[in-house]
A and B are shown apart, each in its own frame.
Chain A
């Protein structure tokens, strides 16, 4: 393609990306460096059906003047990033000084919201990504060996977890694993413990979220791998068969190498998705046991008092986190690309 043609070809999508992706990120970064003005508080008397009380309120006229003078708020630089809700540098340093050992330090560190959330998010990403891909691959192999007649319905069934709206799928599972639900009662029966509750225990909640994550994202891997399996060169497979390769050896030495680029692509996508885990925490009401950076953004913005700067700082930290996680894969892809 000529450079000029290429330019006009990508112009609309570049503009859209600039407008809807780059600009918001710039605005979020700017927002995260500013905080609300110092509030001018006045004492007021509030009256209502239950009588009058002396209370305080914000002096709107004085605040209005402050807002006019500096519409962005007051510049605080990295303060929001370093405060207790985010990187909590001062608290980490104090935990380090006061801790009696590494275990105690980790305990104190994970008590800080950001690091607690990071611990869950990284565990979730590290477990769900490989297992979802593996499960998807196994399903794809299995479906691929079925007679043609059965393949259509099986593909449909395998895709169901992805077709069901994530919130609904999670809610159904949430009710089933309730202490009085069908799965919850079954587990109590299996364990012989009538007080066993998945929702009351942190490790069990983590396992539940991880299982849900694998269940809901395996279909994506399945679809991509199934498509990939259709492109495996039949000649190579046949010659391997003639050479006496078993089914396992054919998969190991022919199919898997063929699917590596697809796997890289899916690892990239799934790491991004899993690092931003959000809906399961909401629909499983799991916030007491497991939190993620996305959940913090949601609660900052959804609280009665919105914490815009805090949400902006968490967003920037999420972007940085995703970039760090993706960097090994991206670097490798780049090297492979250069070698060719």
Chain B
């Protein structure tokens, strides 16, 4: 009997969903690939409401999305009709020519979108952004108070505060950071190098030029910071660093805005840790004006090989996924949404502060990913003390040049 009631109510609920379904879409297949964090889950969940009535919505959200999205969008018809990407990862989709311009779809179905959501490359709309992100300082109010230091605004102040915290015996390793060898470590170098005012390439070319004063200074600063980190820092990615934070072992770190919500909620940490977790703006370094951080957006793209019907269905479903209706109590603090009706919460202040402080977007250059990979492979050698900064920087330049030559960016 109970089973029957359950089945009947499921049926009623199901038909209610069908009645609502469609989002006005004529029909087609929607298949989304993207990264995995709460904000993206919310967008895809909202887009999935359009399923039914000849519309299917599938999704594959994984941290490995960058490894599969190009291959999954290359075939005809493509496995994925849309990839959710950020300003670094869209470059590879453009390089491989697997995404389509969205101007016609925006004109037809995108009236709700505001102009600052439209990502244009050479005048053509290539993606629709729905959230902004940046790395900035997170600190433990109680620890800084106990140590008697102000909230740092520069990395030099972080070092000074860390020394005091250690001296007073409050924490042995008060600094945190996603310094895992690979992508994360490279990202920290990019931040630091930008903070010192460095330029990655010789102007107008793909020739790297980081073996300079700013490059050395950036590496030296990273090494100085790592002295105050858990000795395992080269294995700590953003997740592991967050776990260290929640365990109450860290007092200051540079962290992604999109991950602060997890640090401030009651799950996984004790009250004295999460209630004292506060955000501040991005840090400067070396007396520079430009903060040592980069700005990021996340958005969606549409596969070039998708049929017109599928492309239209995918576009409409995702526009529904990022419509103002998706904002509610749960989703509101998950990100800095670029959606109308978004109200900033204290958890998002760091990202706004980064924008206000004049941080620059992560470079969208076709060969930047190669440099990022070369940085991630080589910086660990310096932080372990195996070689000096100049040698590491020349190794990075050599590794980048070999890869760029293979990909035809250099000859």
Q: Is B67 touching A200 in the complex (CB atoms < 8 A)?
A: no
Q: Is B405 touching A46 in the complex (CB atoms < 8 A)?
A: no
Q: How far is the CA of A149 from the CA of B354 in the complex (A)?
A: 69
A290 shortest CB reach to chain B, Å? 11
**Contacts A111-B387, A303-B373; is A44 near B121 (CB within 8 Å)?**
yes
What 14 additional pairs, Cβ within 8 angstroms, besides A38-B411, A304-B372?
A: A36-B406, A36-B407, A46-B119, A58-B97, A58-B366, A84-B399, A179-B230, A200-B384, A287-B181, A289-B380, A289-B384, A302-B67, A304-B369, A305-B369
The residue in chain A whose Cβ has the minimal distance to the Cβ of B398 is A84
Q: Does B403 contact A (CB under 8 A)?
A: yes
A189 shortest CB reach to chain B, Å? 16
Q: Does A197 contact B (CB under 8 A)?
A: yes
Looking at A53, A56, A307, which has the most chain B CB atoms within 10 Å of its CB?
A56
Q: Which residues of A contact B372 (CB under 8 A)?
A: 304
B219 shortest CB reach to chain A, Å? 15
B interface footprint on A200-217 (CB within 8 Å = 1, 0 otherwise): 101000000000000000
Q: Which residues of B contact A39 (CB under 8 A)?
A: 366, 407-409
Q: How far is the CA of A58 from the CA of B234 in the complex (A)?
A: 34
- Tally chain B residues at the interface, Cβ within 8 Å: 69
Q: Does A60 contact B (CB under 8 A)?
A: yes
> What are 21 of the A-B contact pairs (CB < 8 Å)?
A48-B297, A49-B132, A50-B295, A55-B365, A58-B95, A58-B97, A63-B97, A64-B97, A83-B406, A84-B399, A113-B377, A179-B231, A180-B247, A199-B234, A202-B384, A285-B237, A303-B369, A303-B373, A305-B92, A305-B95, A307-B403
Q: Does A235 contact B (CB under 8 A)?
A: no
- Residue from the list B88, B122, B363 in contact with A45, Cβ < 8 A: B122
Q: Is A38 touching B408 in the complex (CB atoms < 8 A)?
A: yes
Closest 10 CB pairs of A and B: A304-B369, A288-B380, A288-B181, A197-B231, A44-B122, A285-B235, A200-B231, A305-B369, A38-B408, A84-B402
Q: Which residues of B contact A304 (CB under 8 A)?
A: 66, 88-89, 91-92, 369, 372-373
Q: Does B322 contact A (CB under 8 A)?
A: no
- Tally chain A residues at the interface, Cβ within 8 Å: 55
Q: How far is the CA of A35 from the CA of B409 in the complex (A)?
A: 11
A interface footprint on B251-269 (CB within 8 Å = 1, 0 otherwise): 0000000000000000000
A interface footprint on B262-278 (CB within 8 Å = 1, 0 otherwise): 00000000000000000
Q: How far is the CA of A302 from the CA of B89 in the complex (A)?
A: 12
Looking at B95, B97, B120, which has the most chain A CB atoms within 10 Å of its CB?
B95
